Structure 1
Amino acid sequence: MGKALMVLGTSSGAGKSLLVTALCRIFSNLGYDVVPFKSQNMSLNSAPSIEGGEISRAQYLQAIACRKKPSVRFNPILLKPEGNMRSQVVFLGKPIGSVSARDYMLSKKEELFRKAMEVLDELKEKHDLVIIEGAGSPVEINLKDYDIANMRVAKHANAKVILVTDIDRGGSFASIVGTMELLRPEERELVMGFVFNKFRGDASLLEPGFEYLERRYGKPTLGVVPYTEHRLPEEDSLAEFPKVRGDLHIQIIRLPHISNFTDFEPLHWANGVDYVTRPEEIKGDLIILPGSKNTVEDLLWLRENGFEDAIIEAHREGSFVVGICGGFQMLGEKIIDTVESGRGEVKGIGLLPAKTVFERTKRTNYLNAEVLWGPAEGMHVEGYEIRFGRSTSKRPFSVITAVNGARTFEPEGAISERVFGTYLHGIFHNFTFTERFLNFLREEKGLEPVSIRAWSIEEEIARFSKVVEENLDVERILEELGL
């Protein structure tokens, strides 16, 4: 039977996901057979698994760090918020329904928890170490009795627990003390020590606090991880949307049900991005409609709040418009949806010659494609699709050449004058494509071309994990785990 190590946080955003990612790579480098696990995740940033189902972006990244193919077993329960206190429930990669928060707590949660723990037991049987990520805070008084992602998991797995806190926010020592005091005595016993994340400065200045924690709880501080710039995808659906204006004015419409916003991180790094919340702001060189968890409802929201007219007017005046997944569907001529919104036929924005029909089976696949659009014509790119809709167009954006490695020939997306739409999530992570596209727009504006340094997720995982390893008492963790 393998061991279990769990990372809990004093709050959301404390750094659990990336600490688990780093630990996965550190233990994998030491020769252990490691896998990640999170019983329940709530996120709009999902990715496909090797089985074809959806998992959260965090467990996808952690699987890569473990040198494993992403599996639905690593994230059995995925909740995808739909608004109005409702979420789509995805279990082992497949949607099983849409429920209110109250109904989920009272009816489905316990059954799914039991099944998720069976998956966890199987992972422990087959691997040396399972590194488990918690969710939010483990001691929220109003939620603790319903919590199936934190201490119940730790107790079931008999996991050693690391408690991480974000010191950059301030109040870290108080957060750790508050968390420890609200844990039950038997839960507190599972905690092996503390990690302070995102520290800027001289860590020796924190020594009095470390000594206090060890006196009070008999638990050591296992590390102080310095604030580290990185390009690893942010997973949390509550992530902030910064407004950053670059030489090119790139605007992304902040839809009510925006999803997979990690698609646009390369644009942040290369130029800067402005997330738009009012129609009168729309006048960028590039306007992007992102993916949506509820495409038709967001299309109607655009229409009712003046965004549709503003996008059409900006395009008429020379703005380039791009739609990704749901955004692509909105830019077409019409959508027939009896699946997601149930609204039937709805008129699209009409900037692309495409029609979309929603199907009941969701497609979640890795894709290779050849681009058919203008400056990037003939370029080979890769990405993934997570969608209900099937779109047809006489002017496709690309041809899919492989699905999950199996060769195929399938047109996808659409192009028109200064507009393209595609189902390829991750299209901008193809850096040669992004560089060529941005320089096409820069040349139109009379700007000098930019060069985007190519890098890989693997490279970023290795770099970030090295920083964590250098600032973490790995030997102490190994000793506590009995490895």
Structure 2
Amino acid sequence: MKGIMFQGTGSDVGKSVIVTGICRILARKNKRVAPFKSQNMSNNSYVTIDGKEIGRAQGVQAEAAHTQANVYMNPILLKPRSSMDSEVVLFGEVYTTFSGRNYRELFYEKGIRAIQQALTELENNYDYVVIEGAGSPVEINLNDRELVNMKVAELADVPVILIADIERGGVFASVIGTIQLLSEEQRKRVKGIIINKFRGDISLFTDGVSWLEEYTGIKVVGVIPYYDHISIEGEDSLSIQNNLIKRGGREENDIDIAVIALPYVSNYTDLEPLTEEKDVYLRFVKDKRDFGKPDAVIIPGTKSTFHDLTFLKETGLDIVLSQYVQAGGTIIGLCGGYQMLGEKLIDEAGTDTGIIGQTIEGLKIAPLKTHFNEKKITIRSKGKLVSSHWQCKEEIVGFEIHLGSTVSTDKRIEPFLEIEERTEGICINNGQVIGTYFHHVFHNDEWRTAWLNQLRVKKGLQQGKVLKLQEVRDLAYDRLADHVEMYLDLDYVIDLIESWKRENE
């Protein structure tokens, strides 16, 4: 296999972003590039064209590489359901739910086989595979059965570049400590170091580069300045608020949108198109005292609807939301947020709570009833808006990932979408209340603009023009690639990919 792996000295050092940039750089050189991450832990998932579920980061990286995402790019996806248990998605389909201990003890051999199968598929169909690790490769208590760092580099037989985040401090200790804790065989794979998120005058780090290279015998292949304009989707919610809140703060005429900060939020990338709108300010609310007077409220998706609905009730946000709607406020519920809008939720199969038949009262904002089923729906969909209020010609394109089945208990309520022979969602009072299972509804430029214009008019502002999101995203990939390429010894990296097999046979 011709490939390279990027590992980190810890979590959130910038692995996903750098891999995204490398994918675009190599794609611009007319290489068929596949991103790969053996095991992802994230509730921020992506649905492939064949209706399978993988980590969102690999979907984004595939887009940057000008290729279609598939399950081999992320064969194992762990979706946390609580602090102890995670749903295991294997090759895009739900396999089972494990505790952390049971996952290590019972799944390891199956995981190894899945990774080997995925790597073989990618090797047969792409020129280069760009592999991303997770966390640190020297988690000593976990390394005997790890599935995501040096074991993957060994299975793929690729060199490794180690990424360190200088912004968090202690960069020399983190690099040296990581290398020292690797076994001798593992150290032989580390052929480069990247110092990421540098602020200030890079020339002041020249001595640091020299010291690292002399001490470790490993080339520093790049010192990459902090990149302040990342408008591509992140992997998980570790830095969700930093990623989504408008830089520069709120301005007087901004559209103020309150996002309910659910403990088990999923697919927060549903919201990212709103951050590209210059007059939109997103803020996260987890306490009723911070609710204020928003122009609109979004209840996002969740991996545990019952748990997060209980959170709303315990914090008093349920009452605040009900009063807000009664006063004419605009609210939209996405997936789990849609389910919460209703009158009652029934866990018939025990798939949300683990208790068959468990019930809970919803927010009672809309006449809905939700039943949780055994089999998850994961599908890409498109439909037409039912209400003529929006005056949008384009179809609404998105994807669905949900266990629940939601129906209106009032037949007079207008659905949101018409999809072939079925209807989907609700649209009350010309969009004052919307509920939908459609993820990425805000990625539809014409409808997003119409929804925001409704808020602008209500606020006494001028209507905005349609922003072409795909053009913005594509430009963002190119800008990121330009930034990484400017500070990276790309010739060294490509030569490393090309020569590794030859020199290690």
Q: Shorter-chain-normalised TM-score: which range?
A: over 0.9
2:399 is aligned to: 384
Which residue of structure 1 lines up, in the alignment, with residue 417 of structure 2?
A: 399
Question: Of 469, 494, 497, which aligns to 1:478?
Answer: 494
Alignment check: 8 A CA contact 1:89 1:99 kept: yes
Checking the alignment, whether the CA contact within 8 Å between 2:273 and 2:469 is kept in structure 1 is no
Moved more, 419-428 or 141-150: 141-150
Q: Residues of 2 paired with 1:103 and 1:367: CA distance?
A: 35
Deviation (angstroms), 1:377: 4.0
Q: Which amino acid aligns with 2:197?
A: K
Structure 1 CA distance for aligned equivalents of residues 494 and 402 of structure 2: 42
1:248 aligns with 255
- Corresponding residue for residue 290 of structure 2: 281
Q: Is the 8 A contact 2:392 2:447 kept in 1?
A: no
Give the Cα–Cα distance (whole angstroms) in 2 for the partners of residues 71 and 136 of structure 1: 23
Gaps of 5+ in 1: 402-407
SS in 2 for 1:11: coil
C-alpha distance in 1, partners of 2:357/2:19?
41
374-383 or 201-210, which moves further after superposition?
A: 374-383
> How far does the alpha carbon of each residue in 1:431-466 deviate from its partner, in whole angstroms, 9 at most, with x for none?
332222222112212234444642323332222112
Give yes or no for the alignment of 1:365 onto 2:379.
Answer: yes
SS of residue matched to 2:237: coil
CA distance in 2, matches of 1:374, 1:178: 62
Native 8 Å contact 1:353 1:416 kept in 2: no
5 Å-filtered alignment, 1:20-59, equals: 20-59=19-58
Contact between 1:354 and 1:414, CA under 8 Å: does it hold in 2? no
Superposition deviation, residue 78 in structure 1: 0.4
Distance (whole Å) between structure 1 residues aligned to residue 357 and residue 288 of structure 2 = 24
**Residue 355 and residue 42 in structure 1: after superposition, are their counterparts in 2 closer, same or farther (change >3 A)?**
same
CA–CA distance in structure 1, aligned partners of residues 480 and 75 of structure 2: 26
Aligned to 1:191: 190
275-284 or 287-296: bigger deviation: 275-284
Instruction: Supply the AA of the counterpart residue of 1:446.
Output: G
1:272 and 2:281 are equivalent in the alignment: yes
CA RMSD of aligned residues (A): 2.1
3-state SS in 1 of match to 2:235? coil
Q: Check the 8 A contact 1:292/1:327 in 2, yes or no.
A: yes
What does the per-residue CA deviation read over 1:3-39, in whole Å, with 9 as the maximum and x for residues that have no partner?
A: 1210101111111111111212222222222211111
User: Who is 2:450 aligned against?
Assistant: 436
State the partner residue of 2:104: 105
Amino acid aligned to 2:405: R
Flag the 1:277–1:163 CA change in 2: closer, same or farther, 3 A.
Answer: same
Matching residue of 2:17: 18
Give 1:375 deviation, angstroms: 4.5
Question: Which residue of structure 2 lines up, in the alignment, with residue 461 of structure 1?
Answer: 477
TM-score normalised by the chain length of structure 2: 0.89
Residue type matched to 1:340 in 2? Answer: D
Letter paired with 2:449: E
Aligned-partner residue type, residue 434 of structure 1: R
> How many angstroms does 1:95 deviate by?
0.9
The DSSP-based 3-state class of the residue aligned with 1:458 is helix
SS at match of 1:360: strand
Moved more, 92-101 or 370-379: 370-379
Partner SS for 1:349: coil
Are the equivalent residues in 2 in contact too, given 1:163–1:193 (CA < 8 A)? yes
Aligned partners of 2:39 and 2:78 also within 8 Å:
yes
Aligned to 1:147: 146
The CA distance in 2 between the partners of 1:136 and 1:450, in whole Å, is: 42
My pick for the range that moved more, 248-257 or 76-85, is 248-257
Distance 1:196 1:369 in 2: 46
Runs of at least 5 residues in structure 2 that lack an aligned partner in the other structure: 500-505
Question: Equivalents in 2 of 1:171, 1:396: separation in Å?
Answer: 57
Secondary structure at the counterpart of residue 238 of structure 1: helix
Residues 363-390 of structure 1 deviation map (CA, whole Å, 9 limit, x = unaligned):
2222222223464244422221111122
Q: Does 1:298 align with 2:311?
A: no
Identity percentage of aligned residues: 39
Q: After the TM superposition, which residues 74-93 of structure 1 pair with which residues of structure 2 at under 5 Å, given as runs?
A: 74-93=73-92
Cα distance in 2 for residues equivalent to 1:438 and 1:127? 41
Specify the alignment match of 2:343 in structure 1.
333
2:325 aligned partner: 315
Count of aligned pairs: 476
What amino acid sits opposite 2:379 in the alignment? N
Query: Which residue type is aligned with residue 483 of structure 2?
Result: V
